[in-house]
Amino acid sequence: MNPLETAKKIKSMEIRGALEIALAAVESLRDYTKGYRGSTFIRDLEKQASLLKKSRPTAVSLPNAVDYVLYLAKHHDRQELPELIDKFMKEQREALFKLSKIGAKRIEDGDIILTHCNSTAVLETIREAAKTKRIHVICTETRPRNQGYLTASYLAKHKIPVTLILDSAVRSAIEHFGVKKILIGADTVAANGAVANKIGTSQIASIAHEFNIPFMVATETIKFSPQTFLGNLIEIEEREHTEIRPKMRGVTMWNPAFDFTPPEYIDIIITEDGIISPHMAYTILKEKFGWELK
Ligand code: RUB
């Protein structure tokens, strides 16, 4: 698929989730490179890259992955680029696999785990743990786009017990089911360890804090933001109010797609490089994004 079509699908959320949008974007740049016949490759590639980066603003995996491809393009021959992009994509899939193995160790037999939205990092971790442990997952519907239905169907397909709840039922469900852990994905991890994820995540974190329930984030390090290291703020995407409901006379609507959970509410961040505390985000950024920070 070409970058323009890919950007449209990311914007409309036909392709969604922080890892998937990053992989789709770099795959489209790979296809663009393979089919390129012009004479100003880097300049043209940069145009396609900026198109992709503008498609959704919050998940930093998208600009990180796209910028990495630009970096590769500037440091290698064009002929080598498709193979290097394939290697990068493979590494990202491996990162997901590794973090799921690491995260699964933090799940115990009999755990009741609450999740929000639809995260491949969360689902793969739960699926890995469920190979040897009994787990019951409580998942929120995740208004307005109802990504929780995807989560629930995936778990049901893999025969993992799952209960779907309304977003507003989190507090009640924690008490009713005796939830033991919260596990969520991430769109962006900032240098101070704050995590941007689907709107509603921070409310769940504050309830978990009140009940003293471990709040765990599962994320590949591609979702750590070097821009925040350099002082930039993360933009929270605001989507059309029609996602909430059709127009109502005399009523304005506000539809932010993500929110920030402060590091104080996060117990651990599970990455492919191991389990870290949110305050180690800074170290990961320095180690992993040297190429970007320079
Ligand atoms: C998806 C979302 C997910 C993260 C992590 O939001 O908030 O929790 O992107 O997902 P949206 P993953 O549906 O608006 O894209 O672990 O799959 O990268």
111, 167, 187, 267: the catalytic one is: 187
Q: Percent of the chain having pLDDT more than 90?
A: 95
Q: Percent of the chain having pLDDT more than 70?
A: 99
Separation of CA 248 from chain center? 32
Minimal-distance CA residue to ligand 1 atom 10: 119
Both 57 and 145 in one domain: the answer is no
**To test ligand 1's pocket by mutation, which of 19, 118, 195 has the most ligand atoms within 8 angstroms of CB?**
118
Closest CA to 183 of 156, 218, 213: 218
Q: Which of 97, 113, 139 is the last residue before a domain boundary?
A: 97
Both 145 and 184 in one domain: the answer is yes
Q: Domain residues for 16? A: 3-97
The CATH number covering residue 91 comes to 1.20.120.420
Both 117 and 241 in one domain: the answer is yes
Both 115 and 259 in one domain: the answer is yes
**To test ligand 1's pocket by mutation, which of 117, 126, 128 has the most ligand atoms within 8 angstroms of CB?**
117
Supply the pLDDT for residue 164.
Answer: 98
Q: Which of 59, 81, 97 is the last residue before a domain boundary?
A: 97
Three-state secondary structure readout of the chain: CCHHHHHHHHHCCCCCCHHHHHHHHHHHHHHHHHHCCCCCHHHHHHHHHHHHHCCCCCCCHHHHHHHHHHHHHHHCCHHHHHHHHHHHHHHHHHHHHHHHHHHHCCCCCCCEEEECCCCHHHHHHHHHHCCCCCCEEEEECCCCCCHHHHHHHHHHHCCCCEEEECHHHHHHHHHHHCCCEEEECCCEECCCCCEEEECCHHHHHHHHHHHCCCEEEECCHHHECHHHHCCCCCCCCECCHHHCCCCCCCCCCCCECEEEECHHHCCEEEECCEEECHHHHHHHHHHHCHHHHC
The CATH number covering residue 146 comes to 3.40.50.10470
Is residue 187 part of the annotated active site? The answer reads: yes
pLDDT (tens digit, 9 = 90+) per residue, 65-91? 999 999 999 999 999 999 999 999 999
Q: Which of 47, 62, 97 is the last residue before a domain boundary?
A: 97
Both 224 and 114 in one domain: the answer is yes
Residue 290 confidence class, pLDDT cut points 50, 70, 90 = confident
Supply the pLDDT for residue 185.
Answer: 98
pLDDT (tens digit, 9 = 90+) per residue, 236-275? 999 999 999 999 999 999 999 999 999 999 999 999 999 9
Both 127 and 25 in one domain: the answer is no
pLDDT (tens digit, 9 = 90+) per residue, 181-236? 999 999 999 999 999 999 999 999 999 999 999 999 999 999 999 999 888 899 99
CB atoms within 10 A of CB 234: 20
Both 220 and 74 in one domain: the answer is no
- Give me the number of domains the chain comprises: 2
User: Stretch 276-290: mean pLDDT, rounded?
Assistant: 91
pLDDT at 293 over 70: no
Identify the residue whose tokens are 């743990």.
129
Residue 60 confidence class, pLDDT cut points 50, 70, 90 = very high
Both 52 and 188 in one domain: the answer is no
Distance 152 CA to ligand 1 centre (A): 15
Supply the pLDDT for residue 294.
Answer: 66
Sheet holding 258-261, edge to edge: 188-189, 195-198, 258-261
Alpha-carbon span 80 to 66, nearest angstrom = 16
Distance 266 CA to ligand 1 centre (A): 17
Q: What angle do CA 239, 241, 242 make, to 5 degrees?
A: 110
User: What average pLDDT does the chain have?
Assistant: 96
Is residue 117 part of the annotated active site? The answer reads: yes
Residue 153 confidence class, pLDDT cut points 50, 70, 90 = very high
pLDDT (tens digit, 9 = 90+) per residue, 118-142? 999 999 999 999 999 999 999 999 9
Both 275 and 183 in one domain: the answer is yes
Contact status, residue 185 vs residue 65, Cβ threshold 8 Å: no
Minimal-distance CA residue to ligand 1 atom 11: 17
Minimal-distance CA residue to ligand 1 atom 7: 198
Supply the pLDDT for residue 229.
Answer: 87
Both 158 and 18 in one domain: the answer is no
Both 15 and 120 in one domain: the answer is no
Both 145 and 25 in one domain: the answer is no
